[in-house]
Amino acid sequence: MTSSVLFDTSFLITLVDQTRPNHDTGVKYYRLMLEQQVPMYFSAIVAAEFSIKQAITDLPLKNFRAIPFNIPHGKEAGRLWNLLWSSDDNTSRSVARDDVKLIAQAIHESIPFILTEDASTLLKYCERLLTAGHGRIRAIKLADGFDPCAFREDGQRGLSLDDNPTSGEQ
């Protein structure tokens, strides 16, 4: 496995909080990435979001590669913002800005996957951009269950061997 992954804030919150519904799935993905030596990226944007309610030292930082948010990322974020929303759309999207910045970082750094628990914004933006041919970033949603094949760049999912064929858990 040679892919790399960028973490969304929601993934990291779920990873360290045992009371979250998708905690076990997050732990399985984290262990898989450690075992397969998948490069795990931690954005300065995520550090800021995570730090609002919890110290980033609660995270296993030694296993992450830190990424600052720089000018090339900002330029890419502006381009993506303009692709996702028209100029006459004045809906407030303050939460969306950080999601777009993370996607921009993933595109600029050639990180093909973002692990997230956020199905309402980040996942939808990744899918919209992918469908429109404006990026190859795929969001892996924890609620879909664990799939050891999730980091395949061709998007092929693993064969489910349990009674629930949609869970992807093996």
Give a yes or no: residue 52 inside a domain: yes
Report the domain count for the chain.
1
Sheet holding 113-116, edge to edge: 65-67, 40-43, 5-7, 113-116, 138-141
pLDDT of residue 50: 95
Quick one: pLDDT at residue 1? 46
pLDDT of residue 120: 82
Any idea what the CATH number is for the domain that residue 13 is in? Answer: 3.40.50.1010
For 7, list phi and psi in degrees, rounded to 5: -95, 135
Under DSSP, is residue 103 helix (H, G, I), strand (E, B) or coil? helix
Q: Residue 11 pLDDT more than 70?
A: yes
Q: Indicate the pLDDT class of residue 83, thresholds 50, 70 and 90.
A: confident
- The amino acid that residue 158 corresponds to is G
Q: For position 162, what pLDDT does the model report?
A: 45
pLDDT of residue 82: 86
For residue 98, give its domain range: 5-144
Residues 74-78, mean pLDDT to the nearest whole number: 91
Please tell me the predicted confidence (pLDDT) of residue 86.
60
Helix (H, G, I), strand (E, B) or coil at 6: strand
Whether residue 10 lies inside any domain: the answer is: yes
> What is the pTM for the complete model shown?
0.82
How long, in residues, is the chain?
A: 170
